[in-house]
Amino acid sequence: MKTASNHNELATLSTVLLSNLDEVIFFAKLSGFVQDLMQEHKVLGFEVLSDGCTRLLSVNGQALSSAKLLNKGLGLSGYVARNKRAYYSNSVKRDPIASTGIRDEVVEAELCVPVMVDGSVIGTINVQSAKKDRSFNDNDVAVINDILSQLKSPIRNMHLFLMAKNLNRELMSKIEAKEKELSSRVEIQISKGFEDNSQMIGLSKNFLEVVQTAKKIASQDFPILLEGAHGVGKKILSKKIHNWSGRKGGCVVASCSALNEVQLDRELFSSKGLMVQANGGTLIIDDIANTTNHIQVKLLRALVAGEMITVDTDEKIALNIRMIATSKVELKKLVEEGKFKEELFYRLNTIALRIPALRERQDDVRVMAEFFLNQGKSQPKVLTSGAIEKLTSYYWQGNAHELKNVMERTYILTDGQYIEASHLPEFAQEVKVEKVEAPAKYEEFTLFDLEKKHIVDTLGHLQGNKTRAAKALGITVKTLYNKLHSYGMIEAREQQ
CATH number, domain containing residue 455? 1.10.10.60
pLDDT in tens, 139-186: 999 999 999 999 999 999 898 888 877 776 666 666 666 555 554 444
Position 451 scores a pLDDT of 82
Q: Residue 195 falls within a domain, yes or no?
A: no
Has residue 44 got a pLDDT over 50?
yes
How buried is 318 (Cβ within 10 angstroms: 0-12 exposed, 13-18 middle, 19+ buried)? Answer: exposed
Same domain (yes/no): 322, 405: no
* CATH number of 93's domain: 3.30.450.40
Domain count for the chain, please give it.
Answer: 4
Count of other CB atoms within 10 angstroms of residue 140: 21
Has residue 231 got a pLDDT over 50?
yes
Count of other CB atoms within 10 angstroms of residue 364: 25
pTM (whole model) above 0.75: no
Has residue 2 got a pLDDT over 90?
no
Q: Residue 411 falls within a domain, yes or no?
A: yes
Phi, psi of 44 (to 5 degrees): -105, 145
Could you give the CA distance from residue 48 to residue 56 in angstroms, rounded to a whole number? Answer: 9
Has residue 269 got a pLDDT over 80?
yes
Same domain (yes/no): 273, 367: no
Q: Residue 438 falls within a domain, yes or no?
A: no
pLDDT in tens, 337-385: 999 999 999 999 888 999 999 989 888 898 899 889 998 888 889 999 8
Indicate if the alpha-carbon torsion angle 463, 464, 470, 471 is positive or negative.
negative
Same domain (yes/no): 331, 247: yes
pLDDT in tens, 415-426: 888 999 999 998
Q: Residue 439 falls within a domain, yes or no?
A: no
Share of residues in the chain with pLDDT > 90 (%):
50
Same domain (yes/no): 18, 119: yes
Same domain (yes/no): 316, 418: no
Same domain (yes/no): 40, 95: yes
Domain that holds residue 482: 447-495
Quickly state the pLDDT bin for 32 (edges 50, 70, 90).
Answer: very high
How buried is 482 (Cβ within 10 angstroms: 0-12 exposed, 13-18 middle, 19+ buried)? Answer: middle
- One-letter amino acid at 435 equals K
Strand, coil or helix: 326: strand
Quickly state the pLDDT bin for 327 (edges 50, 70, 90).
Answer: very high
Q: Residue 72 falls within a domain, yes or no?
A: yes
Decide which of 329, 354, 379 is a domain's last residue.
Answer: 354
Q: Residue 433 falls within a domain, yes or no?
A: no
Decide which of 318, 334, 354 is a domain's last residue.
Answer: 354
Same domain (yes/no): 23, 148: yes
* CATH number of 404's domain: 1.10.8.60
Which among 320, 322, 325 has a CA at the least distance from the CA of 352?
325
Could you give the CA distance from residue 225 to residue 213 in angstroms, rounded to a whole number? Answer: 13
* CATH number of 216's domain: 3.40.50.300
Same domain (yes/no): 395, 305: no
Same domain (yes/no): 98, 225: no
Q: Which of 3-17, 148-162, 468-482 has the highest mean pLDDT?
A: 148-162
Q: Residue 432 falls within a domain, yes or no?
A: no
Q: Residue 193 falls within a domain, yes or no?
A: no
Could you give the CA distance from residue 30 to residue 49 in angstroms, rounded to a whole number? Answer: 18
Decide which of 354, 375, 409 is a domain's last residue.
Answer: 354
Q: Which of 227-236, 438-447, 482-491 has the highest mean pLDDT?
A: 227-236
- One-letter amino acid at 425 equals P
Position 495 scores a pLDDT of 47
For 399, residues 6+ apart whose C-beta sits below 8 A from its C-beta are 229, 230, 231, 232, 233, 357, 358
Same domain (yes/no): 226, 345: yes
Same domain (yes/no): 350, 383: no
Quickly state the pLDDT bin for 493 (edges 50, 70, 90).
Answer: very low
Same domain (yes/no): 113, 44: yes
- Comparing 12 with 199, the larger pLDDT belongs to 12
